[in-house]
Structure 1
Amino acid sequence: MALASASSLAPAPWRVIVTRPGREAVVWAEALQARGVPCETLPLIEIAALPEPEALAQDWQAVPGHLAVMFVSANAVRFFMAARPAGLPMPSCRAWSTGPGTRAALLAAGWPEGLIDSPDEHAPQFDSEALWALVAQRVQAAVAGGPSQPSVLIVRGADPRGQLAGRDWLSLQLESAGLKVLQAVAYVRQAPALTPAQQILVRQAVVDGSAWLFSSSEAAQHLLQACPDLPLAQAWALATHPRIALRLQQSGWGRVDLVPAGLAAQAESIKSLA
């Protein structure tokens, strides 16, 4: 299905601007369009490989000893699995994900389906809290069942300065339960350099009734960094989580609506709001 590009600027009665990273933005927009939601893609988070990925090979050597490896995103799966040293077998520990996109990436990479813990695709939220509800009992049993301290490796991204991206909520829960938490940086998340055509799209879409879909508050921050003088009081945003909605409201977006994280429910919600 062909998507409208940033250079195709004919106004529509309404449309959704999908701001996820490039690969995910295309997949998400195609899925929404298939459900009757007109979309354009404007990736506001750029995903890049690590400049020195050798550390990931070392992280791989310790994978068999972990209770689980938690992946924060499909990109975390792709970059981490690509770094698996030649000849090292697939892991036999559990993999955790917070949503169906990450779970699909794990399956595509060959992680055994029976070893994946992830919220159901119809869950109201895809976040650390939903994942914790699934794994808490297993974690507590592991802590109580052995003399050694179980460990979990969290695979995530970092910004260009090396600062970890994402929340620490799950790490705190795991540490409070008695687990050792390790972190592995698998990729870099950075602000994209918007083209002139994309900048035109931005300035049009904040005032023409378009709905900006945010599944990360980082994407909204990147938008304001690229175009700091936008009339946000006239703009409409859709947020996939209450935390994102709150940050958008605090940033001055004139209209902020909360939509479900799952694609099918999200499409119906967006159409009801348009």
Structure 2
Amino acid sequence: MKPWRVLITRPAADSAVLAALLAEQHIYSSSLPLLDIQALPETPEQRSLMLNLDRYCAVIVVSKPAAVLGLQRLDQYWPQPLAEQHWFSVGAGTGRILADYGLSVSWPEHGDDSEALLALPKFLDTINTSDPRILIMRADVGRDFLAEQLRQRGAQVDFLALYRRRLPVYPTGTLVTRIQQEQLNGLVVSSEQGLRHLIELAGEAWPTLASLTLFVPSPRVARIAQELGAQHVIDCRGASNQALLNALNAHAAPTV
């Protein structure tokens, strides 16, 4: 059986961890980060949000960069975090960063998306107050589904934008050359923005690369990928390293 040879596209540090895990399983990977994380300067409005952190019944952290940068802000304004503050994350990786810091944090056991968090009983119990106020720590732009759903339920939602995600600058043809030279037969993206950056970097070559197997983290991203022309999409049912490994082991690599 032909082995998988995949392109991983997470930020450099995350890709290094994933590559080591795949290597242990004798799966070849090549790293080409498609998300460059740039911390944003703090604004007066953001400072006010942090100083009034105790007014929120729940704080949601949507990614690892948001967790790291959010904890830096927390150190600055709340060196002794409120014991009763409820923290939630969309995924286990993000949640563990918060838990290692000492926060009381919960996350869905199954699923790494907003839909899974909205179904989490502890989260629903936490926001079941007369005037729920929720803070979401995230990038400067992102999916608004979670906030929209919470507002429909009567919650006041504020955003704390901690970073921006940019496509790193690569020489023209880098993506195609990498795939051809290393004979890669699979592409891995961990978010919608990662998918869009992949297509942007591919440029005119995307119709050709779209025939490669594409691993995505959720049904929503799978649907978007198919709408954008991807022909063979595998939903990993999560953005974690283990979710990708499970998907690679569950599906045979193409024979040609």
- Output the TM-score relative to the length of structure 1: 0.79
Residue 175 of structure 1 pairs with residue 151 of structure 2: yes
What is the CA-CA distance between 1:201 and the residue it aligns to? 4.3
Alignment of 1:1-274 (within 5 A): 13-52=3-42, 55-84=45-74, 85=76, 88-92=79-83, 93-108=85-100, 110-112=101-103, 115-120=104-109, 123=110, 125-134=111-120, 135-140=123-128, 142-143=129-130, 149-158=131-140, 164-165=141-142, 167-195=143-171, 198-199=174-175, 201-204=177-180, 208-230=183-205, 231-261=208-238, 262-273=240-251, 274=253
TM-score, scaled relative to structure 2? 0.85
Alpha-carbon contact 1:56-1:83 (below 8 Å) kept: no
Matched letter for residue 116 of structure 1: V
**Cα drift, residue 52 of structure 1:** 4.6
1:237 partner amino acid: L
Question: Alignment partner of 1:156: what SS?
Answer: strand
User: What amino acid does structure 2 have at the position aligned with 1:218?
Assistant: Q
Post-superposition Cα deviations, 1:47-99, rounded to whole Å, max 9, x if no partner, equal 01114566543321011111011001011011111123266422331111011
Give the match's secondary structure for 2:203: coil
Contact kept, 8 Å, 2:4 with 2:248, in 1: the verdict is no
Check 1:229–1:177 CA distance in 2 against 1; reply closer, same or farther (3 A cut). Answer: same
Letter in 1 for 2:126: R
Q: Distance in 1 between matches of 2:179 and 2:26?
A: 25
Number of residues paired by the alignment?
A: 244
Corresponding residue of 1:7: none
Distance in 2 of aligned mates of 1:87 and 1:269: 41
Unpaired segments ≥5 residues, structure 2: none
Alpha carbons 1:20, 1:215 under 8 Å: kept: yes
Gap change, CA 1:203 and 1:264, over 3 Å in 2? closer
Distance 1:188 1:260, change over 3 A: same
CA change 1:203–1:41 in 2 (3 A) is: closer
